[in-house]
Amino acid sequence: LSFYTSLTHQTQPEHPKILMELQGAAKMTWQNYQEKGLPERKNYTLPCLISECSFPRINSSAILAYFQEIQRVTVNNHTIQEIIQQLKKLMPQGAPRLNVTVPEDHFEQKCFTSAILQQFSNCMDRIHNAKCSTVAKRNVQ
């Protein structure tokens, strides 16, 4: 799980577990999101990773801001609430809160939500797959 620890630059032993739980919740949220078939919007992008030094770090404070806005415009979605809970666990102390504005138009809100959920799920999958290949490489050496 050390690969995941480097992703969060934290020494908290629990962070790798949190990231694995986040990956599961991200996948489930995207799979369950009923508004399939919405037009793809390039202008809605989620800053999922912070590229620092040699290793990307998960941008938990930015992602949290996006998901707190998405929670506001979705009805009682338990997995979105779990994602928020898990992201709060990764939050560095005193991290600034990002301002995210969700479109006012109802249809655009759906496009926004769909874009962010999909990008987050893909991002967490990339992290997971990168982890598996790192572990596989370590087993080969």
Closer to other proteins by CB, 41 or 68: give it.
Answer: 68
**The one among 73, 91, 95, 130 contacting other proteins by CB under 8 A:** 91
**The one among 5, 6, 10, 21 contacting other proteins by CB under 8 A:** 21
126 binds other proteins (CB under 8 A): no
Closer to other proteins by CB, 86 or 121: give it.
Answer: 86
**Which residues fall within 8 angstroms of residue 45, CB to CB, at 6 or more apart?**
115, 119
Output the six-digit token pair for 62.
Answer: 């930015």
81 binds other proteins (CB under 8 A): yes
Do 57 and 8 meet the contact criterion of CB atoms below 8 Å apart?
yes
73 binds other proteins (CB under 8 A): no
Q: Write down the least CB distance from residue 111 to other proteins, Å.
A: 25
**In degrees rounded to 5, what are phi and psi of residue 87?**
-65, -35
14 binds other proteins (CB under 8 A): yes
Q: Write down the least CB distance from residue 6 to other proteins, Å.
A: 16
